Structure 1
Amino acid sequence: MRESTGNLCYGKSMLVVDPGVYIVGAGPGDPDLLTVKAQKLLAVGDVILFADSLVPEQILDVCRKDAEIIRTANQTLEEIVAVMVEKVRSHKSVIRLHSGDPSLYSAIHEQMQLLAEAEIPFEVIPGISAFQAAAAKLKVELTIPGLVQTIILTRISGRTTVPVSEELAALAAHQASLCLYLSARHVEDAQAKLLAHYPEDTKVAICFRLGWNDEKIRVVPLHQMAECTHQEQIIRTTLYVISPALSSTKGRSRLYHPEHSHLFRSSHHEKG
C-alpha cells in the first residue's frame, strides 16, 4: 500500500512519481545542498531537463542510469515546454532542474502558465538560493538586531528591466542587507547607485559560482566593487551581498537572552 503526497507516492522501499512535471530547485551548485525531496525525485525521474549553463553536471550523478538527460541551455521556452508536454503525455515523469530556488529569477511563471494551458500537472520543489549559500560561506547572519533587520533580493535593470519603484537607487536608500543578482555586467552602474546611500567602506561580498568547483568569493569595500569584479574577470553567475552585517561584531537577538521569556522558557527574573 502506498501513501500519497500530491503526485508523489511513497512505497515500502522507494519514491514512485506519477507522470507530470516537477520543477526542482537545484540550489546554487553544490550537490550536497539539494533538498532530500529533490534527491528522491532525481533518483526516480524518467526525464531530466536541466539548464546546463547554470546547473553543474555533478548534480546528475544521483539520477537513474537510464534516465533521459536533456540539456536546455540552447533552447527557447516554447521548445522546452513542448518537450515536457510530449514526455508527460507519453506517461513519463519530467524533472525540470533550475538553479537556486525556482521562486527567484527562474522564469517558471511562464512555464507554469503554459503547462496549465496544456493541462499538464506540475509541482514546484524549492531549493537553496544563492543568498543563503553566500551567508553560510561568509559565516554571517544578514539580520543583526539593532543594525539591520531587512534583506532585499533584487537586480539592476538590464536586458530585463525592473519597475521604476524598484530601481536600485530607491532600494539602496534602506541600507538593508541587499543581495544583488544578475548584475555583474552592469557593475559600475550598480556601484554608483549603491554609493549614493551606503558608506563607501561598506563591505561587499562578490560571490561567483557559489558551490561550483571554480567558486570565488571576494570581500571588498563598496568603492572597490567594480574594480574587483573586472580584475577577477567576472561577468555572470555572480551574487553581490552588500550589508553592514558583513563587518559587524555587535548585536544580540532577544530570543536567547536570559531576560527574555517566551512560550517555552521563563525569563531569568521569573525563575528567581
Structure 2
Amino acid sequence: MIYFIGAGPGAADLITVKGKELLEKADLVIYAGSLVNPELLKYCKPECTIMNSATMTLEEVIAAMVPAAQAGQLVVRLHTGDPSIYGAHREQIDLLRSYNLDYEVVPGVSSFCAAAACLKAEYTLPNVSQSVIITRMEGRTPVPSHQKIADYAAHKATMVIFLSSGMLEKLQTELVRGGYRNDTPAAIVYKASWPDEMVIRCTVGTLAENAAKYGINKTALITVGGFLGNAYDRSELYNPTFAHGFREADPTKLDVKPEVK
C-alpha cells in the first residue's frame, strides 16, 4: 500500500494522528525535503528507508515506490501541508494506477490554515468576505487564462497566495490592477507553525518593501483582504434574535457585548 500523507504546515505535532501512525509503520518514506520538517522523520522506525524527493524527478520517485509496494512494503509519500494544494500528487497517482497498486490519500493541515492561526484571524467574516481564493503568481509555471492574480483580485474576497514571495513587486501591481487599493490590509506569514515563524502585517502597497526589510523571499504565504481589518458584522448564528433549527429566536434579549477589561 502507498499512502500520500499531508505532513501539515511545519510543526511536527500538527500532522494528523493517522499520518503519524502510518509514519511509524512505514518501510519506505519519500518526503519533500525542501518543505517538510525533518523532525517528522523521527516518528519513523530505525530500519525505515528514507529518501528526499527534493533531488528526485517524478520518474525516480515512482521507480522507488513501485518495487517497494510490489514487495508488500508500506510506502509513505510525505507531502507538505495537504497533498491536494500544490502537492503534485495527481501525476504520481495516475502513474501508480498503471501498476495496479493500491494507494490512499491522508489529508493534512494546510499552511493556509496555519497562517490564519498565526494571524489569529478568520478568513470568512460576515459582510467582509465569504470566500477564500487560494492561488499563486504566474512565474516559470504558467496559470490558465482568467485565473491570474488580477482576475481574482476583482472579487475582493480573501486571498491566500502561495509560491509568490519572491515576486512581490509584480504581485502588488497585479493586485492593484485587479481592483485592490494600495492601502488594503495584507500580511506576510513566513513558515507558519515552525519555530522561526514570522508574521508581518502590512498593506498591498508595502508587501515588497516589508519582505525586503525582513529578508523574506521564499517559504511564505501572502494574505490579502478586509478580513485583516477590524470591521465586520456579527454572525447571525449566535444572535439571540435569529432563529434556526436548534434555537428559537428571542427578540427580548439584548445584544450585549462582552465587557473589555
Given the two structures, how large is their TM-score scaled by the length of structure 1?
0.89
Query: Once the two structures are superposed, what CA deviation does each residue of 1:185-215 show, in whole Å capped at 9, x if it has no partner?
Result: 2211111111231121112110112122222
Structure 1 CA distance for aligned equivalents of residues 247 and 239 of structure 2: 11
Match of 1:80 among 30, 51, 61: 61
Query: Once the two structures are superposed, what CA deviation does each residue of 1:41-60 show, in whole Å capped at 9, x if it has no partner?
Result: 11211111101111011111
SS of alignment partner, residue 241 of structure 2: coil
SS of alignment partner, residue 221 of structure 2: strand
1:208 alignment counterpart: 190
Structure 2 CA distance for aligned equivalents of residues 123 and 148 of structure 1: 34
* CA deviation after TM superposition for structure 1 residue 270, in Å: 9.9
Structure 1 CA distance for aligned equivalents of residues 93 and 232 of structure 2: 44
Structure 1 CA distance for aligned equivalents of residues 26 and 228 of structure 2: 41
Match of 1:97 among 55, 78, 96: 78
Match of 1:50 among 23, 28, 31: 31
Identity over aligned pairs, percent: 40
How many residue pairs align between the two structures? 252
2:245 alignment counterpart: 263
2:46 alignment counterpart: 65
Check the 8 A contact 2:150/2:176 in 1, yes or no.
no
- Structure 2 counterpart of 1:48, one-letter code: V
SS of alignment partner, residue 210 of structure 2: helix
* CA deviation after TM superposition for structure 1 residue 269, in Å: 4.2
Structure 1 CA distance for aligned equivalents of residues 251 and 195 of structure 2: 51
Query: Once the two structures are superposed, what CA deviation does each residue of 1:230-254 show, in whole Å capped at 9, x if it has no partner?
Result: 2222222111000101112432111
2:256 alignment counterpart: none
Structure 1, unaligned stretches of length 5 or more?
1-19
Residue 198 (structure 1) aligned with residue 186 (structure 2): no
1:132 alignment counterpart: 113
Residue 250 (structure 1) aligned with residue 236 (structure 2): no
Match of 2:4 among 23, 40, 61: 23
1:121 alignment counterpart: 102
Residue 184 (structure 1) aligned with residue 175 (structure 2): no
Larger mean Cα displacement after TM superposition, 74-83 or 234-243: 234-243
SS of alignment partner, residue 49 of structure 1: strand
Structure 2 CA distance for aligned equivalents of residues 266 and 60 of structure 1: 51
- Structure 2 counterpart of 1:38, one-letter code: G
Residue 221 (structure 1) aligned with residue 187 (structure 2): no
Structure 2 CA distance for aligned equivalents of residues 214 and 78 of structure 1: 34
- Aligned-residue Cα RMSD (Å) equals 1.5
* CA deviation after TM superposition for structure 1 residue 66, in Å: 2.4
Q: 1:65 to 1:267 in 2, by over 3 A?
A: farther
Runs of 4+ that moved beyond 6 A: none
Check the 8 A contact 2:118/2:193 in 1, yes or no.
no
Query: Once the two structures are superposed, what CA deviation does each residue of 1:20-43 show, in whole Å capped at 9, x if it has no partner?
Result: 110000111011211111111112
2:128 alignment counterpart: 147
Given the two structures, how large is their TM-score scaled by the length of structure 2?
0.93
Residue 39 (structure 1) aligned with residue 20 (structure 2): yes
